[in-house]
Structure 1
Amino acid sequence: MRAELCWHAPLAITGLGVSFPLIWTLLTSFRAPNAIFEIGPSPVSAANYLDALTLFPIGRLLLNSLVTALGVTAAQLLVAVLAAYAMLSLGVRSRRLVLGAVTVSLIVPLQAMVIPQFLIATGLGWRDTYPGLIVPQLASCGLAVLLMWEHVRSLPADLLGAAAIDGARPAETLWYVVLPQLRPALGAVGILVFITTWNEYLWPALVAPSPENTTIQQGLALFDNQEGGNPGPLLAASVLACAPVIAVYAVFSRRITAAFLRAGRR
């Protein structure tokens, strides 16, 4: 009992410290506008949320973030699954070269690729568009490829061999044999990519500067500039921006942990 307490007490204190800013933001967002800076109890008020919804296009920004995050997640999962499955048919040397190249792509800061990506997106006329927000972010799919490869290579060789003996083509093996085994991994990697894309700030700020076409993270910065003297609506908008990510993680957190623990045991 004492040993468990020694482990759980520091974790609880750390968790409380990490979550304190979010708790403070949530509680303060429900204060009356004239009681934001007061210490002590305050009547619950939804005025800040009404201001956030009426003074700024929060709904449009959330929609843009949702479409972007889902688009990037779907595209990265497609690339990761196809790349991991293709590496099964490569030789040892070729596979090492591919994995080395993918690993190097993780070392290169994404900020180093911003200028060429911005020039290409501008040349294609993708500024203030969903393709401009989604396609360039595929450059960060290296982590998804490595995570998916760890799961693909752990599949039993007898399972793939049996599919080949039954006459299944590679595409059929991928669809009917490999993908059903990868459902937990697809969910876990997809959630990680979704959360990362949702929180992306730099690229939307460059390629989608218009308030009606950008994402919620950049929109909060614009909201801060317009409502700098009134932090209540900004806090309410921040809570609305965090709510989808918190909901996704709360529902699927066990799936994330279980998928990677299963891969580690294999």
Structure 2
Amino acid sequence: MKTTADNAQRQLQPPVQPAVKRRVKPSTVLLHLALILGSIVMAGPFIWMGLSSLKSFEQMFSIPPTIIPDPIMWSNFVDSLNAMPFGRAYWNSFYISTIVVLSQIITCSMAAYAFAKLKFPGSKVLFIAFLATMMVPMQVTLIPLYLILDQLQWVNTHLSIIVPNALFNAFGVFLLRQFMLGIPKEMEEAAVMDGANPAFIYLRIMLPLIKPALAAFGIFSFIGIWNNFIQPLTFLSSTELFTVPLLLAMFKGLYVTQWPLLMAGATISVVPVLIVYFFAQRQIIEGIALTGVKG
């Protein structure tokens, strides 16, 4: 009886499937190798900058070159901060970037809503002309912008950097418009049936739905303004108004460049950008992934 019961139990149990080994395709291996190699190439300059910030002037130009600093010159960071007014420059870059980012989020989202959801004569032509400005290098418009700011007496003030950047960003309008095009029209039509006006739809429906795109655009904008060099170089002449990138350029002299201090200052300057990216990388990926390409 026991043998019969055991045989019946074995028959009821499902057969054990043999483990299937997944074959790794050669194309997958080559793809990963290419990505690893590309990552090393992309990270190479950053790693070199970090190592150079810990070297002495002699170690940086020694032959054969030394990769690992010996001894490690931690004093380079202190010397770089003491050599230039970096505290003031950090505050200038931070508050300028913050004001510009908040302003661009407001202006770009309003323009994107108008181009995506409001129908008015010439909207498509105006949007194409708006995008065409992205193809014009900033150096081309720099002199006319300088003349305008000079008439406004904004040269050598932070207004010359804040106002032009705060009022205009074609990339931000394009990014947010593409995201809004993916929002179903039924939501807007339902709000209109309930008596909502365009301002209410923009504030209470569109803005909450495009939070991932707003976060991604805000991060891109912050990084761009933080690293902005050409505009502060053109419009600012007082040291107390300098931003971090412009102050770093002062380490480069006419005959001698303090490379260890320059590398130390550059390493410190990327810390805020790395912090922003570390805490917001999910929003960047989500915002770009969810942004459509509909036109």
Instruction: Give the alignment's TM-score, normalised by structure 1.
Output: 0.91
Deviations 1:130-162 (A, max 9, x none): 211111224751111111100112111111111
Aligned to 2:213: 185
Aligned mate of 2:263, from 235, 244, 252 = 235
Aligned mate of 1:90, from 107, 119, 140 = 119
Is the 2:99–2:162 Cα contact (8 Å) retained in structure 1?
yes
Whether 1:28 and 2:76 are equivalent positions in the alignment is: no
The separation in 2 between residues aligned to 1:73 and 1:179, in whole angstroms, is: 16
Aligned to 1:134: 162
Q: 1:57 to 1:66 in 2, by over 3 A?
A: same
**Unpaired runs of 5+ in structure 2?**
1-23
Aligned mate of 1:148, from 167, 176, 180 = 176
Is the 2:101–2:166 Cα contact (8 Å) retained in structure 1?
no
Question: How far did residue 166 of structure 1 move?
Answer: 1.8
Aligned to 1:125: 153
Aligned to 1:115: 143
Is the 1:106–1:140 Cα contact (8 Å) retained in structure 2?
no
| Count of aligned residue pairs for this structure pair | 265
The separation in 1 between residues aligned to 2:264 and 2:158, in whole angstroms, is: 26
Whether 1:3 and 2:27 are equivalent positions in the alignment is: yes
Deviations 1:188-234 (A, max 9, x none): 11111111222221111011122220211111111222893432111
| SS of equivalent to 1:225 | coil
The separation in 2 between residues aligned to 1:188 and 1:144, in whole angstroms, is: 10
Is the 2:188–2:201 Cα contact (8 Å) retained in structure 1?
yes
Aligned mate of 1:65, from 87, 93, 100 = 93
| SS of equivalent to 2:202 | helix
Is the 1:73–1:190 Cα contact (8 Å) retained in structure 2?
yes
Aligned mate of 1:18, from 28, 42, 61 = 42
| SS of equivalent to 1:90 | coil
Amino acid at match of 2:192: A
Aligned to 1:104: 132
Aligned to 1:262: 290
The separation in 2 between residues aligned to 1:53 and 1:227, in whole angstroms, is: 22
Is the 2:53–2:263 Cα contact (8 Å) retained in structure 1?
yes
Q: 1:86 to 1:226 in 2, by over 3 A?
A: same
Q: 1:227 to 1:186 in 2, by over 3 A?
A: farther
Is the 2:179–2:291 Cα contact (8 Å) retained in structure 1?
yes
Amino acid at match of 2:171: L
C-alpha RMSD of the superposition = 2.1
Aligned to 1:43: 71
Is the 1:110–1:140 Cα contact (8 Å) retained in structure 2?
no
Is the 2:104–2:167 Cα contact (8 Å) retained in structure 1?
no
| SS of equivalent to 2:241 | coil
Instruction: Give the alignment's TM-score, normalised by structure 2.
Output: 0.83
Q: 1:95 to 1:225 in 2, by over 3 A?
A: same
Aligned mate of 2:102, from 51, 63, 74 = 74
The structure with more radius of gyration: 2
The sequence identity of aligned pairs, in percent, is: 28
Amino acid at match of 1:155: I
The separation in 2 between residues aligned to 1:123 and 1:35, in whole angstroms, is: 50
Aligned to 2:20: none
| SS of equivalent to 1:168 | coil
Is the 2:175–2:291 Cα contact (8 Å) retained in structure 1?
no
Is the 1:84–1:149 Cα contact (8 Å) retained in structure 2?
yes
Aligned to 2:222: 194
Amino acid at match of 1:120: I
